[in-house]
Structure 1
Amino acid sequence: MLMSNKTVIITGANSGIGKESTIALSKMGAHVVLACRDTAFGKEQHANEVIADIKKQLPNASLSFIPLDLACFDSIRNFVIRFNQQHSQLDVLLNNAGVVSLEKRQTRDGFELTMATNHLGPFLLTNLLLPVLINTPKSRIVNVSSKAHAKGKITFSENRIKTRRPYMGLATYADSKLANIYFTQELAERLKGTDTTVNALHPGGVASNIWPDSNGIIGIIRRHIVKKLKTPAQGAQTSIYLCSSPDVEQVSGKYFYKKKLKQTCARAKDKATQHKLWQVSAECTQLNNEELKQPS
């Protein structure tokens, strides 16, 4: 099978696109590590329930669970320690998990929740996993971004990513998706000369648990929009493609939609902001020079 003897980490594997990606890559023969919170929220399933569900369909599926909370830097570091204790290779890292917080919320590390979960967390996780990724032949990193990145803007204040004032949840989500694009492009530059690629994607509008339940007019609009959205299985197709297809084996630093190469917005081509975001993200996550992949 296409993914036989491959090890894959999928963040947010217990719902939506992440769960569908887990099912698809398991069918291809991969061992999938479900990287998600140990406590299910809202409509999420616990990872062990997801594993049981998949095993009913695919009795031979190779699946495991390591707890991960992308909003907590200690949780990320503990995840990497446990993964490295259990595995000596990592063929694919699918940074899939994401949130939208309509109210301004802060993580225990002191960062705005949406940016921390959607960008800073994956930034830290990816950098800590780079040694095993680089040592695995033809490994891939896949970042789930969004076309919402075109509405995003990254600015800085005292070596931190500036949060919009007044706080706007959807605008902050767009900012975090632009950060995903900058991160993908900068990391691709730093991975030149290695056997590891990194790409980003827009999954399309998907009816998933990322969008919080709301009352009032926002809730009415949300329910109306959800009826027109893709199913998670449809939204997962480009993620699955970038994780597994031989067609993109040598492609890196690019942005995809519907399995096709697409252009990012003009703002995403701002190299100065891209470089600055990397530096600020490294400071925020307290990565030291030994843990950071330097430009080749």
Structure 2
Amino acid sequence: MDWEAAKMMCSLQFWRMAVYWTLALVYSRLYLLLLPYLSNRFPSLFRPPPPPFSRRRFSPGHQCPVRRPICVVTGVSPSRSLLPLDPFCNSEGLFTACCWQATSGLGKAAARALAAEGYHVLLASRSPQALNKAVWEIKKHDPNAYVEAFQLDISSMHSIMKFECNLKQWLQDANLHPSVQLLINNAGILAKSSRVTADGFDEMIETNYLGAFFLTNILLPLLKNSPVPSRIVNVTSFTHRCGELKTRTHHNHFSHVDQNKGILARENFHVFSSKKYCFAQIYEYSKFCTLLFSYELHRQLYAMDSASVVSVMAADPGFVETNIMRELPPSLRKLAFMVLGFLHLLQSPEIGVGSIIDAALASPEASGKYFYGAKGRTIKSSPVSYDAKLSKELWLCSYELLQECKSRIVNLSKLD
């Protein structure tokens, strides 16, 4: 074991991941497996689990202007250009679905599965090389798959706004209906050091949460314009269970907050201390925010219209063998995979993506549910994640940041 790995093993953040995250994962798994038994044995104490939701394949009617679903899958890598790459265009009407992290792991697995379900998949990532490779692999696996590639940096508001323009232009050029049917926000990084994005936010916060919030709100008009029911799937994590809502104190550290007050300081989204960067807690916090955002968006859409065309689901794939821990020492990554594999808690991307595809293809009545464990199953997330006051406060704070970022970019474009 090298010095870097030994040093990390002496940190509180490592042991938080090793102990808290494992316990949270075990809790979710036991909840899923034991609830049917407990509800039968002790019906007065435990409610029976909700029935699983079956996957529904899209079947357009004769008058439907949308003939085939389209899926946009985005990823994280260096390039910033936003022009479409290697398009496999088609003149027939198509559905549009959007996914985060397209070029590897869960994103690529989701893209492949949705392509097999008949979606026209739009991959979006920062790396042209990774995009081209992902498109090639999907086409190699299924020569009949409909796949496009766009470049997008989810941690940049400027890139998100350009992506919107390019997506609308592509829909127009391809003579497609100006709408989106499925958006899957699957962004996720685990950064062990403090880094700042071009928008001035903590990179992990913007990549894991704010970017998804910005992208969803910008594409929401296209989702609402769909002539058939559309869907937003936000990929969250079991790690949201690992603690109460955290916020920074004036010492720049995380501390517990009285949930009844619903305090959410906007400074949480900005730069954290580089000396004591609590990366495990910040990751938990970002995924917790994603879950609050999912439930609040569901409430808003269905409060305005109980028959809303847009449904919102949260999906937890569990612990999946992806490259999300790439910034950790290789020896510790191998150790984590080995231990979780021994405990039967580690899944391949092809298995872990099951909950995401379930959420993407479930009936609209599943809106507001937390998908976990594949096979159409749903479970309850942490109690505090259902706090409507807290989620509303988070929404207002995030939406204010969205408007500020958009205004700044518009003003800069006028100067150019």
Three-state SS of the structure 1 residue aligned to 2:325 is: coil
Residue 14 to residue 28, structure 1, CA distance change in 2 (3 Å)? same
- The percent of aligned pairs where both chains have the same amino acid is 32
Structure showing greater Rg: 2
Q: Please report the TM-score for the alignment, with normalisation by the length of structure 2.
A: 0.64
Counterpart Cα distance in 2 of 1:219 and 1:233? 20
For the Cα contact (< 8 Å) 2:151–2:163, is it kept in 1?
yes
Q: 1:54 to 1:110 in 2, by over 3 A?
A: same
Of stretches 145-154 and 215-224 in structure 1, the one that deviates more from structure 2 is: 215-224
Q: Structure 1 residue 217: deviation in Å?
A: 6.9
Partner of 1:145: 236
Find out whether 1:52 has 2:142 as its counterpart.
Answer: no
Structure 2: how far apart are the matches of 1:175 and 1:270?
15
Aligned with 1:98: secondary structure?
Answer: coil
Conservation of the 8 A alpha-carbon contact between 1:154 and 1:161: no
Distance in 2, Cα, partners of 1:210 & 1:216:
12
**Hey, what's the Cα distance between the residues in 1 that align with 2:326 and 2:405?**
35
Q: What count of residue pairs does the alignment treat as equivalent?
A: 283
Tell me the CA shift for residue 31 of structure 1: 0.2
Give 1:86's aligned amino acid: W
Structure 1 distance, partners of 2:379, 2:369, is: 8
1:236-275 alignment, distance < 5 Å: 236-245=353-362, 248-258=363-373, 259-275=376-392
CA spacing shift, 1:64–1:150, aligned 2, 3 Å: same
1:292 aligns to what?
A: none
Equivalent position to 1:174, from 276, 284, 306: 284
User: For 1:121 and 1:279, how far apart are their aligned partners in 2?
Assistant: 15
Once residues 158 and 10 of structure 1 are traced to their aligned partners in structure 2, the CA distance between those partners, rounded to angstroms, is 27
Q: Does 1:184 align with 2:299?
A: no
Cross-structure match for 1:43 = none
Partner of 1:27: 116
Query: What does residue 17 of structure 2 align with?
Result: none
For residues 159 and 219 of structure 1, do their structure 2 counterparts lie closer, same or farther at Cα, with a shift above 3 Å needed?
closer
Gaps of 5+ in 2: 1-55, 59-66, 71-96, 172-177, 248-263, 407-416
After superposition, residues 188-199 of structure 1 pair within 5 angstroms as 188-192=298-302, 193=305, 194-199=308-313
Q: Distance in 2 between matches of 1:133 and 1:23?
A: 22
1 CA distance for matches of 2:399 and 2:211? 11
Instruction: Judge conservation of contact 1:154–1:179 (CA < 8 Å) in 2.
Output: no
Structure 1-normalised TM-score? Answer: 0.88
CA distance in 2, matches of 1:232, 1:13: 12
Shift of 1:219: 4.4
1:112 aligns with 2:202: yes
Q: Distance in 2 between matches of 1:189 and 1:206?
A: 30
Is 2:117 the partner of 1:2? Answer: no
CA distance in 1, matches of 2:269, 2:384: 16
How far apart are 1:96 and its partner, in Å?
A: 1.0
Distance change (3 Å), C-alpha of 1:208 and 1:219: closer
Q: Provide closer, same or farther for how the CA distance between residues 288 and 89 of structure 1 changes in structure 2, counting only shifts above 3 A.
A: same
Indicate how the Cα distance of structure 1 residues 288 and 256 shifts in structure 2: closer, same or farther if over 3 A, else same.
same
Q: What's the CA shift for 1:216?
A: 7.9
- Residue identity in the other structure for 1:5: R
